[in-house]
Amino acid sequence: MKTQIINTKKGTIEFSRVGTGIPILFIHGGHSSCNEVLFHKGFDTNRFCLITPSRPGYGNTPLSQNVSPKQTAALFVAMLDELKLKSVIVIGISAGGLSAIELASNFPARVTKLILISAVTKKWMTAKDKTYIKAKKIFAPKIEKFSWALFRFFYLLFPNLMAKTMLKELSNSQSIDLAKAEVAELFEMIKLQRSKNGFVNDLDQDIDQNVINGIACPTLILHSSNDNAVNLEHAEYAHSKIKNSILEIYDNKWGHLLWLGQESYTPIKDTLKFIE
């Protein structure tokens, strides 16, 4: 997978690119970067060109002036200009959902289809929420590196225990029977996780409520009824606001991580069917 840093008229941005064919722009979630590969699962790189930029504050993309989803969307369009891409399919994941919505709404000619996976579609948390308060401390820019290093250290020592700990954060499912392959797949994702300046910025992001009404392209919304990180009401809200949208709800074990484990087969199949 090729990783690059380019300068655009809207700022510096890091991105990865793999495959050839129909271009798909992945807008990653929290604690991630252009190195995220979990959501590439199921995509044939002989048919699709998978482009994943690091959102501002993550990886090597500076937060600078691109702190809002609207500014992030404009940065992505500037990147597409540099790559000579007229239009792309956009996949917005988790906390990347707001930027995906701004992109599809404000630049309709650049987005042929929109897919929202476990996506934040409106104000996510308030300053009074316990999760917000905890996240602001654990993932503060000066501390997050050590928080992730400590989590990875304990994951190596107690993989099943730490996987179950993360499962409780991500899912309301009562199933705690984890396959070795799932525990290993989760760790491959965790090994790449960093919050940098991006996640504390995500916690405060919001968009104008009228923006989502402006999306005209075909839209697929995928969410879990067991999502413990981003409530199902975000998916239902998006479905009610986007006229040309399809909502698919899954009863999966991993909740927020629809692409993890054997149960990921169904949402992947639904996504590929929608794209084709």
Catalytic residues: 94
Phi and psi at residue 275, to the nearest 5°: -65, -40
Cα dist. 258→35, 129, 161, 214, 252 in Å?
18, 25, 21, 27, 7
Interatomic CA distance for residues 83 and 103, integer angstroms: 17
* Token pair 């986007």: residue: 242
Residue of 249, 211, 267 whose CA lies nearest to 99:
211
Interatomic CA distance for residues 98 and 90, integer angstroms: 12
The CA dihedral of 226, 232, 235, 240, to the nearest 10 degrees, is 140
Q: Structure tokens of 203?
A: 């916690």
Q: Structure tokens of 156?
A: 């190596």
Interatomic CA distance for residues 51 and 20, integer angstroms: 10
Half-sphere exposure of residue 219, counting CA atoms within 13 Å on the CB side? 29
Residues 213, 241: contact at Cβ < 8 Å? yes
Q: Which residues pair with 114 in a beta bridge?
A: 90, 219
Residues 5, 58: contact at Cβ < 8 Å? no
